[in-house]
């Protein structure tokens, strides 16, 4: 079964003419086929530092659907004067059980399509994608620059839909990830799947009293999955299960006791990082409301006179009339955010001494 590609129409509507072509090279790293965009252009530049943009595709799609976005992002940066200070490549690969890595088509489907293990399958697949991104990050420079004349000093992760869920995990779990762009993704798996169970009218949801209270821990969301989500899901890490009192925060400000737990975790996962969260206000597949409590907590942490002393940047935008798709306006925001992030890196670099 196929599903609408959230990327369709986004790029075509963003430019009067297609972005300029960029070089593409295939590598096999750790047994994973990856496509690296812009590597030839790196060797043609004087930049010795390189940034890598990891592009994570949507569910039921493949890495090829990210090619036009890679060209657009690289084309924008390569026309800027700052490219002489830091180069940019983009990397795509098939998510687990997708494209060249597919082993079970049903595992990519939802409850309504007959997959009774939808919750386990989806979380394990995109958790695996986040793990793969970190693994590839470890080895990429040794494949791209075997002469060690350049290095990758900055990693940005972009993800759409399923890729957006994975991008949240990359941001939280890998200190090498400096920035993340999440498009129609969700940081709160408990909330997202509870909403989906309600809409799917699962017996574990409808037959509970009160409604929905028996879903977590049921065969559709087993105890083993709950433990995995608590370990790896951003919202679960910070806010706990849906019934945890910290989820009822008033304007995002936790109590002093809760702060003692949250502060070290926030510093470890978010300090110094940049986040762009883009959502469709009319998205019913991954509703903004499912991640709203978590996003509001982050907003409270970076508000003036916040309880969180560490710093990170969060830009959270909803787009009216946009459903589960990446709109042209989201493309524009993505390209500008990438450029701003790279520009900050250039501005923060020490000025070489004059001789």
pLDDT at 350 over 60: no
Helix orientation angle between 288-302 and 189-200, rounded to the nearest 10 degrees:
160
Say what the pLDDT of residue 247 is: 60
Taking alpha carbons only, the member of 147, 179, 183 closest to residue 53 is 179
Q: What is the mean pLDDT of residues 320-335?
A: 96
pLDDT at site 348: 76
| Distance (Å, whole) CA 333 – CA 335 | 6
Residue 59 above 80 pLDDT?
yes
Selected residue with higher pLDDT from 259 and 280: 280
Predicted confidence (pLDDT) per residue in 82-121, tens digit:
888 899 999 999 999 999 999 999 999 999 999 999 999 9
**Confidence at residue 248, expressed as pLDDT on a 0 to 100 scale:** 55
> By C-alpha distance, which of 178, 186, 175 is closest to 157?
178
Q: Does residue 58 surpass a pLDDT of 80?
A: yes
Confidence bin at 208 (pLDDT 50/70/90): confident
Confidence of residue 251 (pLDDT cuts 50, 70, 90): very low
DSSP classification of residue 58: P
Q: What's the pLDDT at 354? A: 41
Contact 168/353 with Cβ under 8 angstroms?
A: no
Task: Tell me the helices (H) and strands (E) count for the chain, helix number first.
Answer: 11, 8
Give CA angle at 279 (275, 283), nearest 5°: 155
At residue 327 the predicted structure's pLDDT band, cuts being 50, 70 and 90, is very high
Calculate mean pLDDT across residues 276-303: 93
Average pLDDT of the residues in 200-224: 93
pLDDT confidence bin for 24, thresholds 50/70/90: very high
For 158-195, how does the pLDDT look when each residue is reduced to its tens digit (9 = 90+)? 999 999 999 999 999 999 999 999 999 999 999 999 99
How many CA atoms lie within 13 Å of 242's alpha carbon, on the beta-carbon side? 18
Cα gap 19→149, rounded to integer Å: 29
pLDDT of residue 322: 96
Confidence class for position 263, pLDDT limits 50, 70, 90: confident
CA distances from 37 to 85, 171, 173 (A): 18, 22, 25
Residue 252 clears pLDDT 60, i.e. is over it: no
Q: Report the distance separating Cα 349 and Cα 102, nearest Å.
A: 42
Distance between CA atoms of 338 and 53, rounded to whole angstroms?
9
Question: Distance (Å, rounded) from C-alpha 339 to C-alpha 186?
Answer: 24
Q: What is the mean pLDDT of residues 287-313?
A: 87
| Contacts (Cβ under 8 Å, ≥6 apart) of 67 | 24, 35, 37, 92
Per cent of the chain over pLDDT 70 is 92
> What is the predicted pLDDT for the residue at 353?
41
Lowest mean pLDDT among 55-59, 63-67, 93-97, 265-269: 265-269
């Amino acid at each position: 079964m196929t599903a609408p590609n959230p990327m369709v129409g986004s790029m075509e509507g963003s430019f009067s003419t297609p972005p300029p072509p960029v070089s593409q090279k295939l590598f096999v790293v750790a047994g994973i086929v990856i496509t690296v965009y812009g590597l030839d252009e790196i060797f043609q530049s004087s930049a010795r530092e390189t940034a890598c943009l990891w592009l994570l595709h949507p569910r039921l799609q493949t890495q090829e659907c990210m090619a036009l976005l890679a060209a657009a992002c690289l084309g924008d940066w390569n026309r800027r004067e700052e490219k002489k200070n830091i180069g940019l490549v983009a990397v795509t690969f098939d998510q687990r059980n997708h494209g060249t890595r597919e082993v079970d088509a049903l595992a990519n489907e939802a409850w309504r399509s007959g997959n009774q293990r939808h919750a386990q399958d989806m979380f394990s697949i995109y958790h695996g994608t986040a793990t793969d991104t970190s693994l590839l990050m470890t080895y990429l420079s040794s494949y791209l620059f075997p002469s060690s004349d350049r290095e990758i000093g900055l990693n940005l992760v972009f993800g759409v839909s399923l890729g957006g869920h994975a991008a949240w995990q990359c941001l939280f779990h890998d200190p090498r990830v400096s920035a993340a762009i999440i498009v129609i993704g969700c940081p709160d798996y408990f909330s997202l799947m509870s909403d989906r169970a309600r809409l799917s009218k699962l017996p574990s949801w409808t037959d509970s009293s009160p409604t929905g209270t028996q879903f977590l821990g049921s065969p559709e969301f087993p105890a083993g999955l709950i433990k995995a989500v608590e370990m790896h899901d951003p919202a679960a890490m910070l806010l706990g299960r849906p019934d945890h009192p910290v989820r009822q925060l008033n304007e995002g400000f936790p109590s002093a006791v809760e702060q003692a737990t949250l502060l070290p975790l926030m510093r470890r996962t978010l300090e110094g990082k940049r986040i762009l969260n883009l959502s469709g206000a009319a998205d019913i597949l991954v509703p903004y409301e499912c991640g709203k409590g978590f996003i509001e907590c982050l907003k409270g942490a970076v508000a003036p006179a916040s309880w969180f002393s560490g710093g990170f940047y969060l830009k959270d935008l909803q787009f009216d009339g946009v459903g589960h798709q990446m709109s042209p306006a989201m493309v524009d925001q993505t390209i500008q955010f990438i450029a701003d992030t790279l520009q900050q890196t250039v501005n923060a670099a020490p000025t070489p001494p004059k001789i």
